[in-house]
A and B are shown apart, each in its own frame.
Chain A
């Protein structure tokens, strides 16, 4: 079966712009989480969605937002981009306690 799909794979944006990243979970998985991975901070939790509801949120500024659609697909949005937002953004999906399966990530570079 298809894994977790994230689009786009790479993205270059300018400071001040906004960006939307997309994640398609494994079919049947209703839980989707997002993580930011950087060399300095490692893997940090952004948000978690279950059945279109945000179930948990990490310690990120309000510029970071997300949502989940009725088909479990999820998007995250970052507004007013800063240089420090450059990172690999990972999406993961889960089937109720089975452990998360991660996507390949979207590498965002802010210049």
Chain B
């Protein structure tokens, strides 16, 4: 079975501090990993995906297959980063399906 675990339900940091949101997954195949973000009163939106290896809004995430982790990092947190963050995976291959398996989310608060 596929599972995504985000061990921290809540995370609070101060502006300018580094932030790391943890994500661990269990899946025996080759998953595709994502981070989605939901700002207050906004829709869920894609932040980044591991295959693109890009940095969005200063966030990066590296897939560690050995530790089955996909932690999200930002060196200097900003107040506008306060949001709910969800780690998700597509358990490829699955016959073309792109069903997403989500973690329970981490609420990040960046204090001034």
Contacts and interface: CB of A to CB of B under 8 A. Distances in A.
Say whether A and B bind each other: yes
Interface of A: 3, 31, 33, 35, 42-45, 48, 50, 55-56, 58, 90, 92, 94, 97, 99-105
15 contacts: A31-B98, A33-B99, A35-B100, A42-B86, A42-B103, A42-B104, A42-B105, A45-B100, A45-B101, A50-B96, A55-B97, A56-B97, A92-B44, A94-B98, A104-B43
B46 interface: yes
Interface of B: prevailing SS: loop
Contacts of A45: 99-101
B43 A55 contact: no
| Size category, B interface | 20 to 34
Contacts of A101: 45-46
B26 to A, nearest CB: 16
A94 B96 CA distance: 12
Interface of A: prevailing SS: strand
B98 A100 contact: yes
Contacts of A31: 98
Contact of B102 (A42, A56, A94): A42
A87 to B, nearest CB: 14
A48 B103 contact: no
Contacts of B102: 35, 42-44
Contacts of B94: 56
A40 to B, nearest CB: 9
A39 to B, nearest CB: 10
A3 B46 CA distance: 13
A68 B104 CA distance: 28
B57 to A, nearest CB: 16
